[in-house]
Structure 1
Amino acid sequence: MKPQRWTAVAAAAAAFFGLTLTAGAAPASAQEAAPAYVALGDSYSSGVGAGDYDPDSGDCKRSANAYPQLWSAANAPSSFDFVACSGATTDDVLSGQLDALSDATGVVSISIGGNDVGFADTMTTCALNGEAACLERVAEARAYVTDTLPARLDGVYDAIKAKAPSAKVVVLGYPRFYQLEGSCNAGLSEASRAAINSAADDLSTVTQDRATSHGFSYGDLRPAFTGHEICSSDWWLHSVSVPDVGQSYHPTEEGQSGGYYTVMEGLV
């Protein structure tokens, strides 16, 4: 790969989690209002990669095509607080986003954990330092998912339950990033891509375990994105994106509508 392309990959990875059509949905005016809805989480919930960002959201990059916006438009909640923010960690949710919750909150959605695990650094390592370094860094990320992340997720989920005790809480995961069959000019070896997918599987397993243990619904995005990964014939994820490197490795508008929104709608 050319040096400038490696630079783009690294810059994209540094913004990695930093996370449209509603065809068939009944018009909001034709439906009874849904309960008050609050959308928490990281860039996969704010809609990085889906375009049409609210200028007032600044670096949080909240998209009009993000699944929380789509769900709100289709279900007409009595109120809608969209506080998900690019780059958010579990600490960020605890220190600010939870202020949007109250006893009156009826629906909560959240994707969180990717930034805690350090996938940005992992992708940078994989892009710049070759297969051996990539596999080592992925192993470190997987160890964090197993050993440290569960307690961090518990802290967030406990706080959500305390702040919004009557809410229906939907925890959304992350897709696998790569289709492995056949050749793919994605800048990483097949072994590296397989390792990254395995780390995503670990993250899904741990997140589902902790979410369901709190009585929350878990939305597994892996089935929805099967056949739409990077290197498939119909990508719902950005690979390296130039000049807007910040959207790299994030769902496209189709990924938000066909993947995240569809899963969310099926759980509420």
Structure 2
Amino acid sequence: MAKKSGGGGCLVVVLVAGLLAFGYYKWQHGSSSAPPGGASTGGGSGRYVALGDSYTSSPRTGRQAGAPAGCERSDNNYPHLVSAKLKPAEFADVSCSGATTANLTAAQKTANGTNPPQLDAVTAKTTLVTLGIGGNDIGFVTLGSSCATAHPSASPCKDRLTAGGHDQLAERIDAAAPKVGAVLDRIHKQAPEARVIVVGYPTVLPDGTGCWPALPVGAGDVAYFREALGKLNKMLEDQADAHRAGYVDTATPGKGHDVCTASDTRWVEGVLPASRAAPLHPNARGEQGMADAVVAVLKLP
């Protein structure tokens, strides 16, 4: 995520980096699915490992949890909330802001410390794994798009990203699919008894034309991103189905809690957060909603 600086350029950088880099809206209404049976986790038994990017680590919503500090991992993110409900014998949250699937098998350098390969935490003793990854593999930040616009009906990003008959966002999502699948296969290999759950990204954009100028994205781009960002979740759901994993749909329960809703309702903050959270990332309410969705799939009381 690019850091905030002065001027309109900051707005564009924060908007593009936050909105596109970490995943978002359900393309079609899907449904959560429980993972195949495995060893039990909870009530003082089992090992739960949480893997993921910033939508898992939840920057700034709570107190710093674990090292390195550069991962911006909060103690009230959804893995911590799920663990508090489960009460496993062991819990490891190794999620890290900015992570890609490559950072599951290779170390990730941050602005403040290096996070070891996340899969190092997945051992033969692991009985539950949640995985929230994929958005950063799409490489949206490198596109350098300028989506903020003074025209509420404009679509500058759609025009550029679909020029020449090639939808860059769709192509990159397709290219990321086998990477996610390979990660799931690796998890099963390292933890044969683990139940594995892919956690989708919550709703960020509303239905309709958006809320320009609070979210300075034109109606054309809102529609384009809503479809493209939903494809990311659909890809994650498909990979979960194909690689013996469950899937948690957080977008459906997140509808009506997008960036355009009231500050006491939204799960995801806007460009200028009204509560403790990174711009265009889940706040504490959103992380609780995501945790509730995971718990529901696990069929806990």
State TM-score, norm by structure 2: 0.76
Q: Give yes or no for contact 1:169–1:217 (8 Å, CA) kept in 2.
A: yes
1:128: how far off?
6.9
1:99-146 Cα shifts (integer Å, max 9, x gaps): 101111001001110001124346853237972334433731111112
- Specify whether residues 58 and 243 from structure 1 end up closer, same or farther in structure 2 by C-alpha distance, changes over 3 A only: farther
1:151 to 171, 174, 178: 178
Matches within 5 A, 1:178-217: 178-181=205-208, 184=211, 185-217=214-246
Residue in structure 2 matched with residue 262 of structure 1 by the alignment:
292
Off by >4 Å, runs of 4+ in structure 1: 15-19, 121-124, 242-246
Paired positions, count: 253
1:74: how far off?
1.6
Q: Quick one: distance in 1 between partners of 2:56 and 2:190?
A: 20
Residue in structure 1 matched with residue 52 of structure 2 by the alignment:
41
1:182: how far off?
6.4
Matches within 5 A, 1:7-156: 7-11=10-14, 13-14=16-17, 17=21, 32-48=43-59, 50-54=61-65, 56-95=67-106, 96-121=117-142, 124-127=145-148, 131-137=155-161, 139-146=167-174, 148-156=175-183
Q: Give yes or no for contact 2:18–2:280 (8 Å, CA) kept in 1.
A: no
Q: Quick one: distance in 2 between partners of 1:7 and 1:88?
A: 22
* Corresponding letter in the other structure for 2:14: A
2:193 to 155, 166, 171: 166
Q: Greater CA deviation, 226-235 or 240-249?
A: 240-249
Q: Give yes or no for contact 2:16–2:146 (8 Å, CA) kept in 1.
A: no
Residue 123 of structure 2: SS of its match in structure 1? Answer: coil
- Specify whether residues 143 and 92 from structure 1 end up closer, same or farther in structure 2 by C-alpha distance, changes over 3 A only: same
Residue in structure 1 matched with residue 39 of structure 2 by the alignment:
none
Q: Quick one: distance in 2 between partners of 1:245 and 1:11?
A: 16
Q: Quick one: distance in 2 between partners of 1:183 and 1:40?
A: 31
1:197: how far off?
1.2
1:220: how far off?
1.1
Q: Which runs of 5+ in 2 are unaligned?
A: 1-5, 24-41, 107-116
Q: Give yes or no for contact 1:229–1:236 (8 Å, CA) kept in 2.
A: yes
1:76: how far off?
1.0
Q: Give yes or no for contact 1:35–1:105 (8 Å, CA) kept in 2.
A: yes
Q: Quick one: distance in 2 between partners of 1:60 and 1:35?
A: 25
